[in-house]
């Protein structure tokens, strides 16, 4: 400050500032008025309660799981068997999750591979191609798809979808059977592939809806930048819409993946489970965490329940890892994202 | 390279609302023509009809003729995508592609056109950035995102992107309205250089700017809110600002309107 002033700066503010800053601090935290104090208490209480409930659930699960794991004679991670009652090992519990990890991940990946391109296509159609008259009913139908209960999907999958897939699987076996992945022996098509297809339909709405919202938020000026350079509609989408929406698409896919990993009753209805890992995704067999818990929980004794809870914890960890990975991907792209434009 | 624009009997609509009415004018090659007028008089709309960007807006519709060296841009069988490849545009707010590097931003237009060689591409990028007076500031960080530049640099990046494809006409829609005076000066100097190579049309709210950069000035006005905007007069910039032939122009320029 070069401006000459008549009065030199007073020394008093130093003395005054101590109480005034303390007061400001109190004001900033909003706890001086009764209403503010009550609201602060309520919101803080809710936050603490959430953490407490989470901690209680985690502690309970971890305790029950540790009970089961300490008596397990198999290797929990690599054993291809689920026999907590020890029926074939003289009463010694023998179980592991290898098959479940494989089945869960494979079926979810199949679902993502099918659902993501279709969902992006639908979202782009709604946001950038369809006239409003058509876009609204399509959005409505997609929302409706999300409201169908999973048991209904399960029944539809088992009764309608699966029987109709034998032809497709036979064709895949004819042309791609040599890969091993697509070999098909002709049994009931209640396989991981069928589960994956069904899961794809189930996660389609959430991926579509989130992507559509992101695509609609692309600033007009980014699209016009491409248009003014002489971009066709597809090129506008490639240059402006998809790059802007990339992190949104990733988040949407992860939300879908989360649902696919945890989907229970539809998978349990469609899959013919076996406790085996096989290369072919077309032959029936395999299993997923949630399906395994749902099918076995009812008949399990307390120790069997503990074993299932241990597998549930693993599913929880996998879901956490997936979410963490998604966040990493999004964070790394931040510099180039449209958000800072 | 630079081409002449002849507009005759042009009307533009938003749905049923007529935004501009019966505009006819000629823009000479290698000159700068400024559009001035009050907000809502349709000068930006008119600018956007010159590269067929107006019809991108839902309900946007145009009738009349826009001839680029005799070829009607609105003729049947003319692809608007090709029109926009030959008539570049710079917008009010700098809009580099946020996900692309500086280099890719400038190269974007060439990549759209498809035919280029890799070595050629970096030459064109350098030439365009030099042309936009930006090369010295960004040559060491061509692979950094364009959105990390300052507003004035971003706008010059957008100009580099527009001139990289060697358009015949360059349209600028208030290119300096979001910039500080120093960046504005940089862009105005640039416009003076670019008119050696391109036909330039610029919309501006800043009358000093129009007086500084343009050879010809067009004044647009509307008789009342909701009425279509019209071209009042187009003349040499000097004449418009010293001795306009229409009273409304003089009132606007001297600050006495209404």
Residue A253 has pLDDT above 60, yes or no: yes
For residue A250, the domain's CATH number is: 1.10.3720.10
Residue A22 has pLDDT above 60, yes or no: no
Look at residue A169 and tell me if it is in a domain. yes
Question: Is A327 found in the same domain as A196?
Answer: yes
Spatial contact of A130 and A139, defined as CB atoms under 8 Å apart: no
Q: Output the CA torsion A27→A29→A34→A35 (10° steps).
A: 110
Pick from B213, B208, B216: nearest CA to B238:
B216
Question: Is A131 found in the same domain as A31?
Answer: no
- The domain tally of chain B equals 1
Look at residue A116 and tell me if it is in a domain. yes
Q: Is the CB of B53 less than 8 angstroms away from the CB of A229?
A: no
B12-26 tens-digit pLDDT:
999 999 999 999 999
- The domain tally of chain A equals 2
For the segment A101-127, the average pLDDT, to the nearest whole number, is 95
Which residues of chain A make contact with B100, given a CB cutoff of 8 A?
A: 239, 243, 336
Look at residue A62 and tell me if it is in a domain. no
- Chain A residue with the nearest C-alpha to that of B166: A229
Question: Is A132 found in the same domain as A34?
Answer: no
DSSP for A20-64, written as a single string: HHHHHHHHHHT-SSHHHHHHHHHHHHHHHHHHHHHHHHHHHHHHH
Nearest by CB to B112, from A230, A244, A335: name it: A230
Q: Which residues of A touch B (CB under 8 A)?
A: 219, 221-222, 224-232, 235, 239-240, 243-244, 246, 335-338, 340-341
* Cα gap A7→A305, rounded to integer Å: 81
Residue A329 has pLDDT above 70, yes or no: yes
Q: Is the CB of A225 less than 8 angstroms away from the CB of B97?
A: yes
Spatial contact of A245 and A146, defined as CB atoms under 8 Å apart: no
Residue A207 has pLDDT above 90, yes or no: yes
Look at residue B162 and tell me if it is in a domain. no
Predicted local distance difference test score (pLDDT) of residue A20: 54
Look at residue B175 and tell me if it is in a domain. yes
A55-86 tens-digit pLDDT:
998 898 899 999 999 988 888 988 888 988 88
Q: Is the CB of A340 less than 8 angstroms away from the CB of B113?
A: no
* Cα gap A223→A231, rounded to integer Å: 9
Predicted local distance difference test score (pLDDT) of residue A23: 57
- Please give the residue range of the domain that contains residue A17: 12-54
Sign of the torsion formed by the C-alpha atoms of A77, A81, A83 and A86? negative
Give every CB contact of residue B51 below 8 A, 6+ residues apart in sequence.
Answer: A228, B73, B83, B84, B87, B88, B89, B169, B171
For the segment A218-225, the average pLDDT, to the nearest whole number, is 90
Total CB pairs under 8 A between chain A and B: 81
Q: Give the DSSP H or E segment for B63.
A: strand B60-68
Look at residue A64 and tell me if it is in a domain. no
Distances (CA, A) of B83 to A231, A338, B48, B111, B195: 11, 28, 12, 17, 20
Predicted local distance difference test score (pLDDT) of residue A112: 96
For the segment A118-143, the average pLDDT, to the nearest whole number, is 92
Nearest by CB to A228, from B51, B96, B98: name it: B51
pLDDT under 50: residue ranges of chain B: 258
| pLDDT range class, residue A21, cuts 50, 70, 90 | low
Which residues of chain A make contact with B97, given a CB cutoff of 8 A?
A: 222, 225-226, 239-240, 243
CB contact B122 to A (< 8 Å):
no
Look at residue B82 and tell me if it is in a domain. yes
- Please give the residue range of the domain that contains residue B233: 5-95+170-253
Q: What are the tokens at A153?
A: 């999907």
Question: Is A180 found in the same domain as A39?
Answer: no
Which residues of chain A make contact with B165, given a CB cutoff of 8 A?
A: 229-230
Q: Compute φ and ψ for A82, nearest 5 degrees.
A: -130, 90
ipTM: 0.88
Question: Is A259 found in the same domain as A117?
Answer: yes
* Cα gap A252→A259, rounded to integer Å: 11
Question: Is A120 found in the same domain as A36?
Answer: no
Pick from B93, B102, B85, B197: nearest CA to B147:
B102
Q: What are the tokens at B149?
A: 């530049």
Which residues of chain A make contact with B145, given a CB cutoff of 8 A?
A: 335-336
Question: Is A331 found in the same domain as A185?
Answer: yes
Distances (CA, A) of A138 to A118, A123, A126, A212, B246: 14, 10, 7, 12, 55
What angle is formed at CA B256 by the lines to CA B253 and CA B258, rounded to 5 degrees? 115
Predicted local distance difference test score (pLDDT) of residue B211: 92
Which residues of chain B make contact with A230, given a CB cutoff of 8 A?
A: 81-86, 109, 112-113, 165
Predicted local distance difference test score (pLDDT) of residue A11: 47
Look at residue B141 and tell me if it is in a domain. no
Weakest mean pLDDT among A20-34, A55-69, A201-215, B103-117: A20-34
Predicted local distance difference test score (pLDDT) of residue A74: 86
Sign of the torsion formed by the C-alpha atoms of A232, A238, A244 and A245? positive
Q: Is the CB of A225 less than 8 angstroms away from the CB of B99?
A: no
Predicted local distance difference test score (pLDDT) of residue A7: 46
* Cα gap A106→A278, rounded to integer Å: 11
Question: Is A234 found in the same domain as A129?
Answer: yes
Predicted local distance difference test score (pLDDT) of residue B47: 94
Which residues of chain B make contact with A219, given a CB cutoff of 8 A?
A: 95
For the segment A288-302, the average pLDDT, to the nearest whole number, is 92
For residue B202, the domain's CATH number is: 3.40.50.300
Look at residue A115 and tell me if it is in a domain. yes
* Cα gap A15→B172, rounded to integer Å: 58
CB contact B54 to A (< 8 Å):
no
Percent of chain A at pLDDT > 70 equals: 88
Pick from A140, A136, A127: nearest CA to A215:
A127
- Share the mean pLDDT of chain A: 86
Predicted local distance difference test score (pLDDT) of residue A2: 44
Predicted local distance difference test score (pLDDT) of residue A334: 59
Q: Is the CB of A246 less than 8 angstroms away from the CB of B81?
A: no
Which residues of chain B make contact with A224, given a CB cutoff of 8 A?
A: 53, 56, 91, 95
- Chain A residue with the nearest C-alpha to that of B89: A228
Model pTM?
A: 0.80
- Report chain A's terminal Cα–Cα distance, integer Å: 34
Residue A340 has pLDDT above 50, yes or no: no
Question: Is A304 found in the same domain as A167?
Answer: yes
* Cα gap B108→B105, rounded to integer Å: 5
Residue A31 has pLDDT above 70, yes or no: no
Look at residue B151 and tell me if it is in a domain. no
The alpha-carbon gap from A246 to the nearest alpha carbon of chain B, in Å, equals: 10
Helix/strand/coil percentages in chain B, nearest 5: 40, 25, 35
């Amino acid at each position: 400050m070069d401006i000459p002033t008549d009065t030199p700066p007073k020394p008093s503010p130093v003395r005054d500032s101590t109480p005034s800053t303390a007061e400001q601090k109190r004001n900033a935290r909003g706890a001086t008025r009764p209403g503010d104090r009550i609201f602060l208490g309520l919101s803080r209480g809710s936050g603490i309660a959430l953490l407490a409930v989470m901690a209680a659930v985690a502690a309970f699960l971890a305790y029950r799981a540790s009970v089961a794991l300490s008596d397990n004679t198999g290797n929990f991670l690599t054993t291809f068997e689920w026999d907590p009652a020890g029926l074939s090992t003289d009463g010694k519990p023998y179980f592991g999750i290898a098959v479940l990890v494989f089945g869960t991940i494979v079926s979810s990946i199949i679902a993502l591979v099918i659902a993501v391109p279709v969902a992006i296509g639908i979202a782009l159609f709604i946001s950038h191609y369809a006239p409003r008259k058509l876009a609204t009913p399509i959005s409505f139908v997609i929302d409706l798809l999300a409201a169908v209960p999973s048991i209904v999907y399960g029944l539809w999958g088992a009764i309608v979808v699966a029987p109709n897939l034998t032809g497709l699987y036979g064709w895949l076996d004819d042309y791609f059977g040599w890969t091993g992945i697509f070999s098909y022996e002709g049994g009931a098509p209640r396989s991981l592939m069928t589960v994956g297809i069904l899961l794809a339909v189930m996660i389609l709405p959430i991926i579509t809806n989130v992507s559509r919202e992101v695509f609609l938020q692309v600033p007009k000026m980014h699209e016009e930048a491409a248009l003014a350079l002489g971009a066709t509609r597809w090129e506008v989408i490639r240059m402006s819409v998809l790059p802007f929406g990339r992190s949104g698409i990733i988040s949407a896919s992860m939300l879908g993946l989360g649902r696919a990993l945890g989907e229970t009753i539809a998978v349990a209805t469609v899959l013919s489970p076996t406790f085996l890992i096989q290369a072919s995704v077309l032959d029936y067999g395999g299993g997923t965490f949630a399906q395994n818990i749902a099918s076995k929980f009812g008949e399990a004794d307390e120790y069997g329940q503990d074993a299932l809870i241990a597998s549930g914890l693993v599913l929880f960890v996998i879901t956490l890892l997936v979410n963490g990975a998604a966040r990493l991907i999004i964070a790394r792209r931040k510099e180039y994202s449209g958000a800072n434009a | 390279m630079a081409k002449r624009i002849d507009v005759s009997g042009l009307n533009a609509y938003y749905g049923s609302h007529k935004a501009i009415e019966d505009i006819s004018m000629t823009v000479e090659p290698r000159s700068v023509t400024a559009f001035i007028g009050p907000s809502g008089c349709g000068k930006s709309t008119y600018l956007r009809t010159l590269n067929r960007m107006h019809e991108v807006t839902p309900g946007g519709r145009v009738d009349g003729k826009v001839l680029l060296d005799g070829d009607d841009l609105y003729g049947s069988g003319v692809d608007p995508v090709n029109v926009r490849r030959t008539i570049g545009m710079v917008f009010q707010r700098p809009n580099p592609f946020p996900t692309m590097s500086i280099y890719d931003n400038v190269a974007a237009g060439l990549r759209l056109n498809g035919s280029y060689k890799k070595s050629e591409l970096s030459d064109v990028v350098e030439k365009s950035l030099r042309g936009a007076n930006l090369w010295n500031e960004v040559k060491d960080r061509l692979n950094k995102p364009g959105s990390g530049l300052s507003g004035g640099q971003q706008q010059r990046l957008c100009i580099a992107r527009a001139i990289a494809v060697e358009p015949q006409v360059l349209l600028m829609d208030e290119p300096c309205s979001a910039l500080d005076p120093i960046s504005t000066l940089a862009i105005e100097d640039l416009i003076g250089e670019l008119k050696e190579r391109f036909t330039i049309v610029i919309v501006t709210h800043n009358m000093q700017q129009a007086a500084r950069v343009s050879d010809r000035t067009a004044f647009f006005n509307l008789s009342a809110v909701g009425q279509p905007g019209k071209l009042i007069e187009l003349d040499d910039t000097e004449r418009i600002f010293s001795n306009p032939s229409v009273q409304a122009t003089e009132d606007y320029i001297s600050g006495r309107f209404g």
